Structure 1
Amino acid sequence: MGASESKLAFKEDIFRLSGTPDIPPNDPWWSRFYTLPESDSDVFALWSPTDLRALTAFDAHCSPDTPAPQKNAEILIYAVVRRLRKVVERGKAEGDEEGRELLNCVRVLTRLLPYLLEVEGLRAWEDAFFWQQRKGTWVWDTKYNHRGPLFDGLNPGKKVPEGSGEGSLGRPLGEELLDLLINALFLPGLTLPSRGDGNEKADNAITYSIWQSGIGCKQSVGMSKENERNAMEVLRLLLVVCSRAMYIMPNVAAQADVKALTYITTKSSRQVVLSLLCSLLNTVLKYNPASWRVPLDLSAITKDPKQLLVTYSLQLLTVLIIYPVPGDEPNAFRKALGRLHRVEDFQFIQQGLTVVLSQPISGVASYVPTASKAVPWAPEMLVLSWELLQCNKRFRSFIIDTDRAHDFFVLVLYYAMDAKDDPARQGIVRMAILILQTLTVESTFGIRLNKSFIGQESLPAVLRISNFHGSYADYLITSVHSLMTTTKGRLETVYPALLAIISNIAPYVRDLQRATSSKLLDLFISLASPTFLLSGGDNHTMLSSLLESLNAILEHQYESNRRFVEIIARSHKRFEALRNFTVNGALAEVDRMAQERKDRNSGIMSPVRRVSTDRPSVDGARSPNGNSRQTSLGNVPEHSAFAIGNDDDEDDDDMTRPTAPQSHVRGSRASSVDDAVPVQSRSMSEKARGKLPVGQGSFSRETSRNTSTTSLASMPPATPTTAIGSGMPSTFTPTPEWLETWLPHLPLHTILTVIAAEHDRDPALRRRLFSSTTSIPTPPAVSLSSPLTDSPSPPKVQHFHWSPLALGWYLSMLWGFIYAADGLNNPGSNGLWAGTHVKLFLVERRADGGVSLRRPKGAVDAVGGEIARRVAGLGFGGGGSTSSSPVVGSVREA
């Protein structure tokens, strides 16, 4: 039969399958589904979503209380699994014809299962059919119009006596299918080279040989391109079987029992776990995308079998190791990954990760236009890197105890800086930030950051800082400042993680440069501004976290950070203003700035407040293009525009929205030290503050909206404290009672003690206030002793703590990567999940033919808020992302 005739016959069989109900299970016609197709494209192109949905519609002969798909769907699944079992249990695929039949069985299941998983009403049927003990099944007898006799689906000739239908005929079908697929990954003649000896016993035929040399194996099995292509198709079906999470809302995804993943990660034998883990890991880490065998345009690779094998290997590996097994049972794959300990294995892992992640950086100096493009599976490789750092302490020590930590943290930072301005890639930015926080919990990492950072000119433009000089600590703090000040609130939910990074390294940093110290003070000014503190009941926790970081520098590294101490001493009015903070005074300050904004918008400005507007913006401190707009690091202004909040917030009055020139006016006004001190510290004494009536000066949500763009920090209001999952913000009203719950507990004592001591040592510091043009003298040759008499407090380590909602965000991001990659590798209707109604994220069609992946409505704020609460223990209830914010990115379909 020719190829065209085969396709026509297969299409006719598809029509019969969905149009003729209850075809007898012992009819030889069923074999046509694994004998006719010539390739995977036949199955995917000829089997349309309409045909599949007709097959998965509820069977009219089933009880409405227990809906099930058409009986033809069940019989087809039994037929292809039966054929799979016959070949795999023999332990060898004999000839090309049998191998093609086995692959066609895989393709049929790959095409059908996503359409079964998407139907909400089939949850109970799916659980009974795949994951409970196998029972007798039946088809409708159309001749006599009643239910036919019971039979064994995997052996249609075996009749089941009436009354024993509730009995067990064997293991659950889903478990048998998973075992068959895993064995098929190690099947000679299909995914491994054929063996010459045909006299091997079936029991011993399957040998779990690791595919590639590397971890656990010193010699590759020698897979051919055909073997790699076949293994890729089996891996693809395993991903589909495990993709139940795609059809679950992210708020409950972490608690969901995905039975396929639970079985693989808890019931697989130790030999299977180690062989599959090492095969997948070695395949991923040994592949060099920059080799001469790969086309230069990485985005154009869609049918290279080696690249597809690497992609699906990495995706299945990450899905297996991050799966949270319900209950207390450990994940065997994650446990095995955490037990790796050989130095040569760690070297192999580190080299493989670096080759992929450094692709955009290593190609900077290349003359090849496409050499600097990121590898398509780089996001999944970041996930693997993070998992290795979290679950294997030995690997984390291996990275951190050497200079490899410097290169690795720069690589991770590249992905954060490169994606920070792209709303569709915010998930990558958040993940990179949390990876950095994971690194900084180790004290050795903080100590090693004091090494001088040389050669940043060779880095991509997004990583370069004009006229930079300093250590890796200076570079990291500057980068954190840039992420917080140039993203317009898109990363608000992970601001606590960024502050935790500073907090974790603060006790160990030495010789901070003047520009870095200025940026730390700039963050303090922004977080201590009245607009920010009054816009959310928990916002002060971020200020407290930063103050603790400043204290840690002073307590642990006072003598070695003279520039930082000088800047703190010259900025004494800032800290004194915070000590004298009052609700009434802050409200007066907010009103004053609101009036000034209205005056500016109407073209009226008080002569007292009119200042030059030629001060450079903070956004120029790190220009993506490295152009002349970049501000010299030595001249970065102390007080910069700083946006905390949601850039999508809208003001009630259009006149309150500042334009670009107004932003410069606002920023330049902040350079005046007198202006920067809040009104309440200039107009109210301590005595007057104590006489404030209780509840005076209420501050409503509407007040917050009307003044959201006027503070020194240029901060839109942070979302008030929100109940997890509710999506409804509560109204916050600051009162003197609320103020007393946190203001007296701010850790200001250490800073004020240092300021007083420095002023006693050099009274001129009180008069010479710090500004962007202040000349800071070279630290004295003889170190001055610390005025702090108490012993330094132990360094406070802020770990990242997982919660169910944070894990739901993580799972949605990973499956979003997988969905996006599948859309690129299998464009149009050939995608594994294309056209199905996934729930873990929303798939929105764009006018240009592509799709955008977004989180479902109501899921983002809940997940983001929980991450903000748990990431650093600060209790910050921000809502920096809207309900339509992207989860991973965009896919362009053919």
Structure 2
Amino acid sequence: MGSSASRDRFLESLNSLATTAVSPEDSDFWDELWKLPTTSTEVFSTFTPALIRTIRSDQFNNLETLFTQATAQMCQIVETPYNIYFDQALNCVRVLTRITPFLIEIDPKHSKVHQILSKQIDEMCFSVPIQNKNPNASIDTEDEDDPQPLALLVVHAAMHMLFLPQFTTDYYDEETYDDETLDDETLETLETDVTVDDTVNSEAPEGLKKKGSHNSPPKNGGKVPFSSKKKPSSPSVKFSDATILAPNPPSLIWSPSVIPSSALLKDGGKKKSSGLETAYTPNRLEVLLLLLTLSSEPLFHPKTESKYLPILTSQNCPNAPLMFYSLLNTVLGYTPSSSSIPYGSAFGNKSEILTSSLHLLNALLSYGEPCAILNKGIDKQVKVSSKDRGNIYSTLLLHMSNDADMKFCCEGFTKLLNNAHLSLNTYMPLSIERLECFEEILTLFWFFLRNDNFKKYILEEHDVNKIVVPLCYLMLEENSNLDMVRICTLILLKLTGEREFSVGLNRPFNTHLPTSLPLFQGSHCDLLVLTMCTKAQKSDDPSFVVILANISSYIMSLSLVASSKIMSLLKFFAERVFWKGSLEKVGWLIEAANNIVQYQWSGNSAFVYACIRGKAVFERMNLSAQDIAEGWLKTERKLIAAGKKHLLIVQPGEGYMEIFKQTIQLNTVERLLSELAPKIDKFASSTSGVVDEQDLLDYIKTQTLVGILPVPHAIVIRKYEGGSGEWLRCYLWGVVFLKVKWPVWDGGQIRLFKVNTGD
């Protein structure tokens, strides 16, 4: 705030709201409240949770008026975007951000809360009539005389404020898409079922129509916030029954217009972009936090339909494409400070806008499903029916297909994820900024894998190993949490279901990672195998072993270090074969061994040697029914003694022997051992028992298994087709709750997950 006096006055006004019924018509009180200079820090510290709950319980009408007035003020400022009102706009944004969670946290069926969100307002709700309004900022609705509910207006007003001239963007030309500004290819992509309207599209919230407007600037010298270069005669394009998925106008995208494709602009995408101007970043952060707060209903009511999210993700949400591409470009176009200049982050760090953009983008993509038209496989259809309630942001994500866009996205993810280890691999400690939002980046990457065009591009055109390396590093990091390991595992499961991914792993690995992995020389297959073996031995999750089985058929050459690690893991689970889940893991590991021997024998002498050294492990797996019964009893006694009987599988019945034999398929490995083991013993004895390991590997390379191995078995690839379910939503909002800058939500009221409040 400007002074301690204004702070005291603000607190006094808030206390009045808690103790006295303030009339909505008391313009003096409300004018002063909105015009007092504030900062986010002071709003959050002064407007305490206890004070908000007191107003909510004792003077609910005041809270309703506060919400209504703030929303109406935002709508006014959008209608009249003069910079003299911007401080007032920020006050409204901060107050709404502060009080919204305390309206959301109580039962959504609460009649008074429902009354606020469903309340219909019109121009009479404005506390300060503004006489000078820009005619181009009129707000259109299907029926201009019908007032709109507050829940819709607050979302639409905030969406417009993200692209308000001189508040969150530069001045701009109101160019729109038409046949003259779009080339033939773009017109074909955007479809041609349009109607032309001579009225330039507005930049104010849909749902609030103001009658009678003037085109004169404010008397106090405020600037008219529209460029004088705009062409009023240029018609806007509106779909008669559908929504265009292109951002309009594209010059408003915050970060340089790499996405959407340069095909959208005749000049090749070189038109002016508002960029990440430092002056606008604080205001953008304030509005992004408000939108994130409005999206946070799943925190408190995970099984109840949200009031705000359907509006925010609707295809009718204003500026939705602009926001999607702005957030996406902000994230994927971000370059960590000091990547070129050591300790450059000391001169300015923009990671806050990166984190905020990730939080909101992930929150929006995690809600609902994309528009149904894309689910029908109509790839070139971009019209979205107004009756379709699908998520517009998921639709936009799934619709990306241009190679330039795919390249930008792949390079962006590569740059951000590799910061995890590159920031530590420096001669000068801390000279490169280390990001603190890898969990959010991984979540966004998971959403991107829904796009088949992106997945195909990263597997076929991009070096996917540039993604594999940071994934493995993040899983092995000492401070990596279980949820981060799980999201990395889900990504790898998804990718290993594709042949191109496994083939690409055979590229040489020459990167130094600051991890505890044993030193090795080999390919990215070795890195992935060592990582999966390390995690599998410490976790009950079978996904690590499934990943090994998926890539095994394509491993051209595995190092001795990685080969020995697989055999150690097989021995580990073989000794626990009667523990829950271990039999299945043993089966997958033997399947991996069979695949390497059957399909990649010639280049895997190290793995063959490891199998021969671990011959006893395979022999112990060749059990009879009596061996199974005895082994189960022995395991039972050990687990009972250790107090871990719950880890024991159910007692083997008559059908268990058949299940065991179907799971443990030893035919391929047994033939390998029966052919080569005696030869290796004979070769070793011919050297008087003194033989170098490399000599044995060279000897194995001279052998052949043609005519020895059985008929090749089918290659089984387990594709991960399931979603991430409830877990991803909990994970996402848990990360947001812990990392958001301000104490927005009361952890004690959250129902999506348990928060340790320290009480």
State the TM bucket, normalised to the shorter chain.
0.7 to 0.9
When residues 559 and 103 of structure 1 are mapped into structure 2, their CA distance, relative to the original with a 3 A threshold, is: same
Find the counterpart in structure 1 of residue 334 from structure 2: 287
1:86 aligns with 2:80: no
Deviation at 1:11, TM superposition (A): 0.7
- Residue 460 of structure 2 is matched in structure 1 by 401
1:94 corresponds to which letter in structure 2? Y
Q: TM-score, normalised by structure 1?
A: 0.65
| Structure-2 separation of matches of 1:324 and 1:705 | 47
2:83 paired residue among 80, 89, 95? 95
Q: What is residue 188 of structure 2 aligned with on the other side?
A: none
In structure 1, the residue matched to 2:192 is: none
Q: Percent identity?
A: 23
Structure 2 SS opposite 1:189: coil
Partner of 1:172: 149
1:527 aligns with 2:527: no
- CA shift, 1:760, in A, is 7.3
1:321 Cα deviation after fit: 1.8
The aligned runs of 1:421-432 (5 Å cut-off) are 421-422=478-479, 425-432=481-488
Could you say if the C-alpha distance between residues 361 and 293 of structure 1 is closer, same or farther in structure 2, counting changes exceeding 3 Å?
Answer: closer
1:706 paired to 2:619: no
Please list, as runs of the form range in 1=range in 2, the aligned pairs for 1:195-206 lying within 5 A after superposition.
203-205=201-203
SS where residue 279 of structure 2 aligns?
A: helix
Q: 1:235, CA displacement in angstroms?
A: 0.6
Aligned mate of 2:631, from 579, 582, 586: 586
Relative to 1, partners in 2 of residues 1:202 and 1:38: Cα closer, same or farther, differing over 3 Å?
A: farther
Tell me by how many angstroms 1:2 deviates: 6.0
**CA displacement 1:510-554 (0-9 Å, x = unmatched):** 22222322221212111121xx33332x44222222222222222
Output aligned runs, 1:805-816, within 5 Å.
806-816=724-734
Aligned CA distance change for structure 1 residues 567 and 534 (closer, same or farther; 3 Å): same
Instruction: Report matched runs for 1:108-127 at 5 Å.
Output: 108-120=95-107, 125-127=112-114
Q: CA deviation at 1:751?
A: 2.7
Partner of 1:690: none
The equivalent position to 1:844 in structure 2, one of 723, 734, 756, is: 756
Cα separation, partners in 2 of 1:791 and 1:256, compared to 1, 3 Å: farther
Separation in 2, partners of 1:306, 1:399: 27
1:745, distance to aligned residue in structure 2 (A): 1.4
TM-score (norm 2): 0.76
Question: Which residue, out of 458, 467, 471, partners 2:523?
Answer: 471
Amino acid in structure 2 at the alignment position of 1:314: L
Shift of 1:102: 1.0
- Give the whole-Å Cα distance in 2 for the aligned partners of 1:229 and 1:451: 44
CA shift digits 1:21-76 (9 cap, x unpaired): 3634554422333211332223222111210111222x6xxxxxxxxx81211111
For residues 2 and 519 of structure 1, what CA distance do their matches in structure 2 show?
64
Counterparts of 2:101 and 2:495, CA distance in 1: 38
In structure 1, the residue matched to 2:443 is 383
Of 354, 358, 361, 1:317 maps to: 361
**Structure-2 change in CA distance of 1:755 and 1:39 (3 Å):** same
Residue 739 (1) aligns with residue 674 (2): no
Whole-Å separation in 2 of the counterparts to 1:204 and 1:759? 80
Alpha-carbon shift at residue 414 of structure 1 (Å)? 1.3
The one of 506, 517, 521 equivalent to 2:563 is 517
C-alpha displacement of 1:354: 2.7
2:63 to 63, 66, 73: 73
Q: Indicate whether 1:447 and 2:503 are aligned.
A: yes
CA contact under 8 A between 1:559 and 1:785: conserved in structure 2?
no
2:283 to 220, 230, 250: 230
What corresponds to 2:309 in structure 1?
261
Cα distance change on mapping 1:72 and 1:741 into 2, 3 Å: farther
Distance in 1, matches of 2:397 and 2:592, equals 34
- Mapping for residues 285-684 of structure 1, pairs under 5 Å: 285-291=332-338, 296=343, 306-325=350-369, 330-371=390-431, 374-388=434-448, 390-402=449-461, 404-418=463-477, 421-422=478-479, 425-454=481-510, 456=511, 459-462=512-515, 465-466=518-519, 468-485=520-537, 489=538, 491-492=539-540, 495-529=541-575, 532-536=576-580, 538-580=581-623, 582-587=627-632, 589-590=634-635
The one-letter code matched in structure 1 to 2:631 is A
Question: Contact (CA 8 Å) 1:511, 1:560: kept in 2 or not?
Answer: yes
2:337–2:344 contact (8 Å) kept in structure 1: no
Query: In 1, Cα distance between the equivalents of 2:340 and 2:614?
Result: 59
Counterpart-to-counterpart distance in 2, 1:345 and 1:2? 45
Q: Which residue of 2 aligns with 1:636?
A: none
Deviation at 1:820, TM superposition (A): 2.0
Q: Residue by residue, what CA displacement relative to the aligned partner does 1:131-172 show, whole Å, maximum 9, x if unpaired?
A: x5x459xxxxxxxxxxxxxx99846999xxxxxxxxx96333
Q: List alignment gaps of at least 5 residues for structure 1.
A: 60-68, 137-150, 159-167, 591-698, 709-715, 721-731, 848-894
What is the CA–CA distance in structure 2 between the aligned matches of 1:761 and 1:6, rounded to whole Å?
91
2:673 to 746, 755, 771: 755
1:570/1:766 contact within 8 Å kept: no
Q: Does the CA contact (< 8 Å) of 1:514 and 1:563 recur in 2?
A: yes
Q: Is the 8 A contact 2:289 2:356 kept in 1?
A: yes
**CA–CA distance in structure 1, aligned partners of residues 393 and 367 of structure 2:** 9
SS at match of 1:266: coil
Question: Which residue is equivalent to 2:38?
Answer: 38
CA contact (8 A) 1:185 1:191 kept: yes
Matches within 5 A, 1:132-211: 132=118, 134=119, 154=125, 170-194=147-171, 203-205=201-203, 208=249, 209-211=252-254
CA distance in 2 between partners of 1:397 and 1:191 (Å)? 36
* 1:686-708 per-position Cα deviation (integer Å, ceiling 9, x unaligned): xxxxxxxxxxxxx49xx625247
Residue 445 of structure 1 aligns with an amino acid whose one-letter code is F
Preserved contact between residue 558 and residue 786 of structure 1 (Cα < 8 Å): no
Q: 1:780 aligns with which of 701, 724, 727?
A: 701
User: In 1, Cα distance between the equivalents of 2:523 and 2:279?
Assistant: 50
CA distance in 1, matches of 2:683, 2:393: 60
Structure 1 residue 201 displacement after superposition: 8.2
**Does structure 2 conserve the Cα–Cα contact (< 8 Å) formed by 1:189 and 1:195?**
no
Distance of 2:28 and 2:64 partners within structure 1: 16
Partners in 2 of 1:273 and 1:445 — Cα distance? Answer: 34
Contact 1:109 1:237 in 2 (8 A): yes
Residue-by-residue CA offset, 1:199-244 (whole Å, 9 max, x unaligned) = x988534664211212125432256433221111111100000011
From the superposition, tell whether residues 425 and 317 of structure 1 become closer, same or farther in structure 2 (CA, over 3 Å). same
Partner Cα separation in structure 1 for residue 432 and residue 253 of structure 2 = 32
Residue type matched to 2:366 in 1?
Answer: I
Specify the code of the residue in structure 1 equivalent to 2:716. K
Shift of 1:748: 2.6
SS in 1 for 2:709: coil
Structure 2 residue identity aligned to 1:323? Y
User: 2 CA distance for matches of 1:190 and 1:171?
Assistant: 25
* CA distance in structure 2 between the aligned counterparts of 1:99 and 1:451, rounded to whole angstroms: 55
Partners of 1:184 and 1:450 lie apart in 2 by 49
Asked whether the equivalents of residues 259 and 405 of structure 2 are also in contact (C-alpha less than 8 Å), the reply is yes
Contact kept, 8 Å, 1:114 with 1:832, in 2: the verdict is yes
Alpha carbons of 1:104 and 1:413: their partners in 2 closer, same or farther (altered >3 Å)?
Answer: same
Deviation at 1:108, TM superposition (A): 0.6
Task: Give the distance between the partners of 1:84 and 1:229, measured in 2 at CA.
Answer: 17
Residue segments in structure 2 that go unaligned for 5+ positions in a row: 130-144, 175-197, 205-247, 261-268, 373-388
Indicate the residue corresponding to 1:791 in structure 2: 712
**What one-letter code is carried by the residue in structure 2 that aligns with 1:171?**
Q
Instruction: State whether structure 2 residue 237 is matched by structure 1 residue 247.
Output: no
Three-state SS of the structure 2 residue aligned to 1:56 is helix
Runs of 4 or more consecutive aligned structure 1 residues displaced over 6 Å after TM superposition: 155-158, 292-295, 760-763, 765-768, 772-775
Structure 1 residues 124 and 396: alpha-carbon distance in aligned structure 2, compared to 1, 3 A threshold: farther
Partner of 1:598: none
Deviation at 1:758, TM superposition (A): 3.7
**How far apart are residue 192 of structure 1 and its match?**
1.4
